[in-house]
Amino acid sequence: MPRQPKAVRRSRPHPATAAAPPIPLGEPSELGHFLGNVGRTVGATLLAGTMIGSATLAGTLVGLAVSFRNLPDVRILQSYSPSETSYIYDVRGRLLSSLHDEANREVVVLDRVSPHLKRAILAIEDSSFYQHPGINIGSILRAITTNFETGRAAEGGSTITMQLVKNLFLTPQKRISRKVAEAVLSLRLEQIFSKDEILEMYLNQVYWGHNNYGVETAAQSYFNKSAADLTLAEAALMAGMIQAPEDYSPFNNYKLAKQRQSLVLSRMRQLGWITEAEERTARQQPLYVGRVTSFRTSKLPYVTNATIQELEKRFGRDALLKGGMRVQTTVDFYYQKMAEQTVKEAYARLRSRGARIDQMALVAVDPRTHFVKAMVGGVDYERSQFNRAIQALRQPGSSFKPLVYYAAFATGRYTPDSIVQDTPVSYPDGNRVYRPRNYGGGFSGSVSIRRALEISLNIPAVRLGKEVGLNRVIETCRILGFHSPLEPVSSLPLGSADVTPMEMAGAFATFASGGWHSDTTFIVQVTDSSGKVMLDNTPKPQLVLDPWAVASLNSALKGVIERGTATSARLGRPAAGKTGTTDSERDLWFVGYVPQLSVAVWAGNDNYAPIGYGATGGTYVAPVWRSFMERALRGVPPKDFAPPSQFPKP
Better-scored residue on pLDDT, 19 or 506 = 506
- pLDDT tens sequence across 62-71: 544 444 556 6
Range from 2-6, 101-105, 315-319, 540-544 carrying the lowest mean pLDDT: 2-6
Active site residues: 125, 398
> What pLDDT, on a 0 to 100 scale, did the predictor assign at position 337?
96
pLDDT at 4: 40
Is there a domain that residue 278 lies in? yes
Domain of residue 566: give its range. Answer: 337-361+370-591+625-646
Q: Are residues 433 and 547 in the same domain?
A: yes
- pLDDT, position 160: 87
Q: What pLDDT is recorded for position 393?
A: 95
Q: Select from 262, 284, 306 the last residue of a domain.
A: 284
Q: Do residues 354 and 480 both lie within one domain?
A: yes
If asked whether residues 242 and 349 sit together in one domain, one would say no
The phi and psi torsions of 351 (rounded to 5 degrees) equal: -65, -35
CB 214 within 8 A of CB 204: yes
pLDDT for residue 82 is more than 80: no
Same domain, 636 and 532: yes
- Three-state DSSP at 327 gives strand
Q: What is the mean pLDDT of residues 374-383?
A: 93
Predicted confidence at residue 100, as pLDDT, reads 72
Q: Quick one: pLDDT at residue 102?
A: 64
Name the more confident of 57 and 278: 278
What is the enclosing helix (H) or strand (E) of 164?
Answer: helix 160-169
- Give the mean pLDDT of 550-567: 97
Residue 461 vs residue 138, higher pLDDT: 461
Domain contains 305: no
d(CA 607, CA 356): 12
pLDDT of residue 57: 52
The amino acid that residue 164 corresponds to is L
Radius of gyration of the chain (CA): 34
In terms of DSSP bridges, do strands 542-543 and 516-517 run parallel, antiparallel, or are they unpaired?
A: antiparallel
Q: Is the same domain home to 44 and 142?
A: yes
For residue 637, give Cα distances in angstroms to 191, 203, 572, 596: 66, 53, 12, 10
The lowest-confidence range among 174-183, 314-323, 409-418, 487-496 is 174-183
Residue 608 lies in a domain: no
Residues 256 and 348 reside in one and the same domain:
no
Residue with the bigger pLDDT between 321 and 91: it is 91
Q: Is the pLDDT of residue 568 over 90?
A: yes
Please check whether residue 495 lies inside any domain of the structure. yes
Q: 219: buried, middle or exposed (CB in 10 Å: 19+, 13-18, 0-12)?
A: buried
What CATH number has the domain bearing residue 579? Answer: 3.40.710.10
Asked whether residue 298 is assigned to any structural domain, the reply reads no
Mark whether 635 and 518 lie in a shared domain.
yes
Per-residue confidence (pLDDT) for residue 26, from 0 to 100: 34
Out of 284, 314, 347, pick the residue that ends a domain.
Answer: 284
Q: Which of 127-141, 525-539, 561-575 reaches the highest mean pLDDT?
A: 561-575
Judge whether 302 lies within some domain.
no
Residue 465 shares a structural domain with residue 377 = yes
How many angstroms separate the CA atoms of 448 and 451, rounded? Answer: 5
| pLDDT at residue 233 tops 60 | yes
Q: Within a domain: residue 9? A: no
Determine the Cα–Cα distance for residues 533 and 545; give it in Å rounded to an integer: 32
CATH label of the domain that carries residue 38 = 1.10.3810.10
Please report which confidence band the pLDDT of residue 245 belongs to, taking 50, 70 and 90 as the band edges. confident
- The pLDDT confidence band at residue 38, using thresholds 50, 70 and 90, is very low
Q: How many CA atoms lie within 13 A of 519 on its CB side?
A: 9
153-167, 342-356, 570-584: least confident range:
153-167
Q: Is the pLDDT of residue 180 over 80?
A: no
Per-residue pLDDT band at 27 (split at 50, 70, 90):
very low
Assign 450 a pLDDT band (cuts: 50, 70, 90): very high
**Residue 568 phi, psi dihedral angles, 5° rounding:** -70, -5
What is the predicted pLDDT for the residue at 6? 34
Section 605-631 average pLDDT: 94
Label residue 74 by pLDDT band (50, 70, 90): low
Reported confidence tier of residue 25, pLDDT bands at 50, 70, 90: very low
Same domain membership, residue 347 and residue 225: no
d(CA 328, CA 526): 6
Claim to verify: residue 355 and residue 244 sit in the same structural domain: no
User: Of 239, 264, 284, which one is at a domain's C-terminal end?
Assistant: 284
DSSP 570-624: --SS--EEEEEE-GGG-EEEEEEEETTEEEEEEEE-TT-----TT--IIIIIHHH
Please, which pLDDT band fits residue 149 given cuts at 50, 70 and 90?
Answer: low
Q: How confident is the model at residue 22 (pLDDT cuts 50, 70, 90)?
A: very low
Q: Is the pLDDT of residue 474 over 60?
A: yes
What is the pLDDT averaged over residues 138-162?
A: 64
Local structure of residue 155 (DSSP, 8 states): -
Of 342, 382, 334, give the one whose Cα is nearest residue 362: 342
How many independent structural domains does the chain possess?
2
Whether the CA torsion 475, 481, 483, 487 is positive or negative: it is: negative
Does some domain include residue 330?
Answer: no
Q: How confident is the model at residue 251 (pLDDT cuts 50, 70, 90)?
A: confident
403 and 472 housed in the same domain: yes
Q: Are residues 256 and 377 in the same domain?
A: no
> Strand runs (DSSP E) across 216-320, as ranges?
none
